[in-house]
């Protein structure tokens, strides 16, 4: 059993989110996802998500590739989450490259290329226009 963990807000869920979760799951055979709380998102991005945390969790939790979810409440708790959920691998998109290298002492860390040409911000902008 290889346990994979990843984190994200997954706001206005799109195919880039789906692809990273599928690729993360392919790193092992059990995928745990830390979904950022609304409060954490405000502190990370200075705005509230469009979809509230319970709806974001409901969407991510329903995916075939996701085995377990929890609320990510703080970026500072990363080491605690990795230990608590006994992660063998941490997978993140390459917008986070280098940011989690300090955890290589307790698990494998992999950064995967983002899906091009799609983001929550781009979707919001398109809807606005």
> What residue ranges bind ligand C2G (CB under 6 A)?
7-11, 16-17, 20, 36, 44, 72, 75, 92-93, 95, 114-115, 118-119
Name beta bridge partners: 35: 8, 71
Q: Quote the CA–CA distance of 107 and 83 in Å, as a whole number.
A: 9
DSSP string, 97-121: TTTTGGGGGTSEEEEEPPPTT--HH
Least separation in angstroms between residue 40's CB and ligand C2G is 7
Q: Please, which residue, 19 or 30, has the CB nearer to ligand C2G? A: 19
Backbone angles phi and psi of 93, in degrees to 5? -70, 160
Which token pair is 14?
Answer: 């799109």
Q: Please, which residue, 7 or 27, has the CB nearer to ligand C2G? A: 7
Q: Select the residue whose beta carbon is closest to ligand C2G and give its number.
A: 93
Least separation in angstroms between residue 20's CB and ligand C2G is 4
Q: Please, which residue, 50 or 88, has the CB nearer to ligand C2G? A: 50
């Amino acid at each position: 059993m290889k346990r994979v963990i990843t984190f994200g807000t997954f706001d206005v869920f799109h195919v880039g989110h789906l692809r990273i979760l599928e690729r993360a799951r392919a790193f092992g055979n059990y995928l745990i996802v830390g979904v950022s709380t609304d409060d954490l998102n405000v502190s990370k991005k200075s705005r509230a998500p469009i979809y509230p945390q319970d709806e974001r969790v409901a969407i991510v939790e329903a995916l075939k590739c996701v085995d377990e979810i929890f609320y990510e409440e703080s970026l500072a708790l990363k080491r605690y989450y990795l230990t608590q959920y006994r992660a063998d691998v941490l997978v993140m998109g390459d917008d986070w490259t280098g940011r989690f290298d300090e955890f290589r002492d307790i698990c494998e860390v992999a950064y995967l290329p983002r899906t091009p040409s799609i983001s929550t911000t781009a979707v919001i902008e398109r809807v606005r226009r």
